[in-house]
Amino acid sequence: MKGQCLYSVKDGFAILEVDNPPVNPLSEGVRVGIVDCLEKAQADSNIHGIILTGKGRSFIAGADISEFGKPPNEEIPTIHAVLEKLESSEKPVVAAINGSALGGGLETALCCNYRVSSSKGFVGLPEVNLGLLPGAGGTQRLPRIIGPSEALKMMLTGKHVPAKKAEEMGIIDKITDADVIEESIKFLHDKKNDPLPKVRDLNSKLNDVSGDEKVIVEARALAAKIRKGQFAPNKIIQCVDAAINADSFDEGMKKEQEFFIECLLNPQREAMIHIFFSERAASKIQDVPKETEIMPIKKAAIIGSGTMGGGIAMCFANAGIPVHIIDQDENNLERGVAVIKDNYDFMMNKGRIDENQKDAVMGLITSGLEYDEIADADIVIEAVYENLDLKKEIFKKLDEVVKKDAILASNTSGLDIDALAKVTNRPEMVVGTHFFSPANIMRLLEVVRAEKTSDQVLATIMSVGKKLKKAPVVSLNAPGFIGNRMLFGYTTQANKLLLEGALPHQIDSALENFGMSMGPFRMMDLVGLDLGWRARKLSKTNPPVTALINDALCEQDRFGQKTNKGFYNYKEGSRAPHPAPENEKLYEKVSEDNGYKRREISDTEIVDRCILALVNEGAKILQEGVSQRSGDMDVVYINGYGFPIWRGGPMQYANMEGLEKVSNKIDEFAKNDPDFWSKAEIIEQLSKENGRFGEAPTKEERKEKLSFNQTSVAKNF
Ligand code: 3H9
């Protein structure tokens, strides 16, 4: 049985310490332990009160997520049974919150009579991020303590609330910098003559809003804005509605239980929990030992003060790491630093940071023109524009100037990291760090492992990525890495659908209804249609058929948002797309000139072809070992490409659809377009075995089954 609860006695108080490292979820052993310890404390007449706390860095991180979806063990008390025992204790109980009290952890604390927290503690009901609702009384107790409106905000955003704020809100009775157990004992001494308060009995904040629809209407608007397509948010709102309007606490609890089970059985729950575990798995690298020493990163440097360089510098400063930006052009540098300052001003004006925080982060960012200034950096990230020769020059220079044990990283979205490593005398210290724009906001970080990148450098970059609050995912050094290589197939299909008769707004809306945050044509308009067009002109290459419409639009100065017209029309100063019927003649002509017979295309076909293009390429990436596991690709797509989290990423989507179905659809598409739809071997194989995508084959297995080489990947790409 996982976890336990330790029992000790101090000054006549029973100390119950949840012990289930690293974050103390309420696994079976913990539940059994808490019940046993409570009974022991109740039975001992020398015990005056009970302190419930957690061992290590967490109080209780919630229910054990890995238990969801498994059949319950009838012998073990449920969380509800444990909490009932806690709440009905005849002796006073304090939750001594030593760290994170999340989900079922906060719900546990709300069943105690009092809550005392260390100043480092934090609370939250983040179940919504797992496709769930707080199902152990959270939807009924939290509104009673802080009011339905604030409770809904906490539950719909799933945000963590630091102890100080939680005290102001009334969730926590007292915070302390001293020992939280000692302080809890003192607190109980002070309260010894008071009747025992129970959150379930507090009704005034609910009565205040009874009959007023505003709270629910506002919550619905918030859910529509930040949780599009998700099932659980509406159920959370219904639970709070029940808390306000039900005849009793118990009736509200019954509703919560019903809705919790609905969430539990909804496929979104499986998809979102898959992402929770995948994000954690992604930072583990199969052949890098767990105990690999992490290098200290105390100083960072960025080469290039453009949008990417500035955004990356902000990430380091936000994580409290001093960062020095250099640029060869003084004007660029000034402009770049001014943009950073503007970004922080914007955040301050929005109330996301205060002036002190802004000064603190700006104080960590310095800049200059000379390479000598970064000689003592622990990591240098080159973030200049995509030109291999220029990057090689920079890496040569960095290798000469920067201390020998510093990591040299390139923020490239597709260039060969081995080629950069080769121009240095420290190829083992070279790695790719592909941030996504805007780098200070987007969570994805593709970490590109070159042939000689050392284990220590990789482990360090994964750890730095987490400190920068990114979701780091490792890719081998292969063209397009993971994300852009998959994207290529997706946009190719979107362009083919346009040639075959669908219109941009139909394709976009089909994919947005599927859940993508932005359809491919809106995305192309945002990025700028002229980029590819200019590159093709410069290199004098013939455009592929899928780029013909793009290029024809550019010939008419329709570059996308920057010229207020592209696949769509835009009003000056607005990013809202309006269909552009004037383009339709052009689409028809290009189709006809290239032998495409335009036809009606269903939304289902659009979604299938675009999403399965991602899946098929993802499967090839997996079988080649470019990505370590299918969950890594899901993390890439959710954090970098706007794939809906509630579908669990493209590979999980395929797993949940069933690989046999996926395989059959690809066979069907291949009848009309065999070159594009060359099916990944792994799909064929897994579909026969009723299998699912999972781990990539190991290096040794790969050698037997596939001859992985970069040129073959490049050809496919
Ligand atoms: C719930 O409570 C439902 C109830 O309302 C109703 C019930 C009836 N369970 O994140 P880390 C593992 S739903 C199992 O790297 P950090 C995690 O997988 C729950 N395992 O650490 C990882 O394992 P590994 C609501 C869990 O310091 C290890 O712990 N609660 C759980 O960066 C370390 O995790 C939440 O949603 C869990 N609940 O962050 C909170 N939590 O080492 C979820 C973590 O093998 N947890 N693990 O990879 C978190 O947000 C973060 O883990 C936390 C620590 C902030 C606590």
H and E: helices and strands count for the chain: 31, 20
Which of 245, 265, 285 is the C-terminal boundary of a domain?
265
Q: Is 183 in the same domain as 311? A: no
Looking at the CA of residue 276, tell me the nearest atom of ligand 1.
18
Q: What is the CATH number of the domain that holds 343?
A: 3.40.50.720
Nearest CA to ligand 1 atom 10: 280
Q: Is 533 in the same domain as 422? A: no
Nearest CA to ligand 1 atom 46: 61
Assigned domain for 111 exists:
yes
pLDDT at 697: 76
Average the pLDDT over 10-32 and give the result: 97
Assigned domain for 468 exists:
yes
Q: Is 25 in the same domain as 128? A: yes
Identify the active-site residue in 17, 28, 87, 127: 127
Pocket test for ligand 1, best of 27, 28, 65, 141 (most atoms within 8 A of CB): 65
The region of weakest confidence among 172-186, 664-678, 687-701 is 687-701
Number of domains comprising the chain: 3
Residue with tokens 């001014």, as numbered in its chain: 338
Q: What is the DSSP letter of 581?
A: G
- The pLDDT of residue 712 is above 50: no
pLDDT at 601: 98
- The pLDDT of residue 528 is above 80: yes
In this predicted model, what pLDDT tens digit does every residue of 353-402 receive, in sequence order? Answer: 999 999 999 999 999 999 999 999 999 999 999 889 999 999 999 999 99
pLDDT at 200: 97
Looking at the CA of residue 62, tell me the nearest atom of ligand 1.
2
What CA–CA distance (Å, rounded) separates 473 from 482? 9
- The pLDDT of residue 699 is above 80: no
How is 473-493 classified by DSSP, letter by letter?
A: EEEES-TTTTHHHHHHHHHHH
How is 393-425 classified by DSSP, letter by letter?
A: HHHHHHHHHS-TT-EEEE--SSS-HHHHHHTSS
Q: Is 460 in the same domain as 589? A: no
pLDDT at 130: 98
pLDDT at 590: 97
- The pLDDT of residue 411 is above 70: yes
Q: Is 56 in the same domain as 178? A: yes
The share of the chain scoring above pLDDT 70, in percent, equals: 97
Q: Which of 104, 206, 208, 103 is nearest to 155 (CA)?
A: 103
pLDDT at 702: 65
Q: Is 384 in the same domain as 448? A: yes
What CA–CA distance (Å, rounded) separates 304 from 690? 49
Q: Is 83 in the pocket of ligand 1 (CB under 6 A)?
A: no
Instruction: Please give the radius of gyration of the chain, using alpha carbons only, rounded to the nearest integer.
Output: 28
Q: Is 28 in the pocket of ligand 1 (CB under 6 A)?
A: no
Identify the active-site residue in 107, 150, 167, 624: 107
CA of 62 to the centre of ligand 1 (A): 7
Residue 69 pLDDT level (bands cut at 50, 70, 90)? confident
- The pLDDT of residue 289 is above 50: yes
Please indicate whether residue 127 is annotated as part of the active site: yes
Assigned domain for 283 exists:
no
Mean residue pLDDT of the chain comes to: 95
pLDDT at 211: 85
CA of 61 to the centre of ligand 1 (A): 5
- Global pTM value: 0.94
Assigned domain for 74 exists:
yes
Q: Is 459 in the same domain as 562? A: no
In this predicted model, what pLDDT tens digit does every residue of 243-275 receive, in sequence order? Answer: 999 999 999 999 999 999 999 999 999 999 999
In this predicted model, what pLDDT tens digit does every residue of 599-615 receive, in sequence order? Answer: 999 999 999 999 999 99
Q: Is 454 in the same domain as 536? A: no
Average the pLDDT over 194-212 and give the result: 94
Nearest CA to ligand 1 atom 39: 23
Q: Is 182 in the same domain as 59? A: yes
Assigned domain for 553 exists:
yes
Q: E strands within 49-179? A: 49-54, 58-60, 93-97, 100-102, 114-118, 122-124, 161-162, 174-176
Q: What is the CATH number of the domain that holds 47?
A: 3.90.226.10
Q: What is the CATH number of the domain that holds 514?
A: 1.10.1040.50
Average the pLDDT over 31-52 and give the result: 97
Please report which helix (H) or strand (E) contains residue 366, including its range. strand 365-368
What CA–CA distance (Å, rounded) separates 151 from 172? 14
Which of 571, 593, 615 is the C-terminal boundary of a domain?
593
Tokens of residue 56, six digits: 């290590």
- The pLDDT of residue 704 is above 50: no
Please report which helix (H) or strand (E) contains residue 522, including its range. helix 520-527
Assigned domain for 215 exists:
yes
Q: Is 194 in the same domain as 57? A: yes
Assigned domain for 633 exists:
no
pLDDT at 715: 39
Please indicate whether residue 107 is annotated as part of the active site: yes
Q: Is 225 in the same domain as 179? A: yes
Q: Is 503 in the pocket of ligand 1 (CB under 6 A)?
A: no
For the CA atoms of 383, 389, 390, 393, the dihedral, rounded to the nearest 10 degrees, stands at 100
Q: Cβ atoms within 10 A of the Cβ of 435, count? A: 24
Q: Is 306 in the same domain as 404? A: yes
Structural domain boundaries, residue 162: 4-265
Query: Who has greater pLDDT, 535 or 502?
Result: 502
Assigned domain for 682 exists:
no
- The pLDDT of residue 307 is above 60: yes
